[in-house]
Structure 1
């Protein structure tokens, strides 16, 4: 199974360690096409157009999109919308935090299954449930 993991990159490097832990859990269930999202350093070499082309290619190859949507991101929202348009299964994880409310456009979309969690171990259990 090809898994597209989506998380904020330009606005969410503070979440890289969390993303990496989630990606490592996802790797138990398939090939994570976007493993770089969990890296502490993101290369500045590709152009924005190259990034777009590569991400769209991976999204087309993916069977499922798992998004960590606690940190708002235009790119993540776009990827989720494209995944829905491609009839991909979409699951979003969101940390329960009073300072960061989940977007109604994500939480209210019938094609997206959203899960709240407070600790990374809880998020890993949610991932296990998604793939069971």
Structure 2
């Protein structure tokens, strides 16, 4: 099983450590195609690798095509995450969106109101990882 993890990069990196924890948990289940989302200085690494925005887009879209499921942490609003989720919905990928209520931003109605995406609200990492486990089992 290939898993596409989506989280904010250019929209804000406040949750980077959380992304790393979620990705580590997902890797217990299978291959995470986008483990770089949880790494420190991801934008700097992309620049060092000489990746253009076009190449980043094409690479991410290819990973999304290869994915069997999509798990997105959507607490920090991100245009890129929204774009990826839109593509995943169009391609009928199973989607789990993780959201921490009480955060600075309310969850978009475009996510919460979309019946093609499952939304799991959580306050603690354990709740998110349990939800991930159930989601993976359901779509394995």
Above 0.5 in TM-score?
yes
Deviation, 1:98, is: 4.9
What is the DSSP-based 3-state SS (H/G/I as helix, E as strand, rest coil) of the residue aligned with 2:15?
helix
Please give the residue correspondences for 1:31-110 in structure 2 after superposition, counting only pairs within 5 Å.
31-42=31-42, 43=45, 44=47, 45-110=50-115
- Give the Cα–Cα distance (whole angstroms) in 2 for the partners of residues 77 and 62 of structure 1: 16
What corresponds to 1:128 in structure 2? Answer: 133
- Residues 49-87 of structure 1: CA deviation (Å, up to 9, x unaligned): 010010011001000110000000000000000011111
What corresponds to 1:23 in structure 2? Answer: 23
Q: Is the 8 A contact 2:11 2:79 kept in 1?
A: no
Which runs of at least 4 in structure 1 moved beyond 3 Å after TM superposition? none
What is the DSSP-based 3-state SS (H/G/I as helix, E as strand, rest coil) of the residue aligned with 1:14?
coil
With 95-104 and 83-92 compared, the bigger mean Cα shift is at 95-104
Instruction: Output the TM-score relative to the length of structure 1.
Output: 0.96
Instruction: Output the TM-score relative to the length of structure 2.
Output: 0.91
Deviation, 1:12, is: 2.4
Q: Structure 2: which 5+ runs fail to align?
A: none
With 73-82 and 41-50 compared, the bigger mean Cα shift is at 41-50
What is the DSSP-based 3-state SS (H/G/I as helix, E as strand, rest coil) of the residue aligned with 2:4?
strand
With 92-101 and 18-27 compared, the bigger mean Cα shift is at 92-101
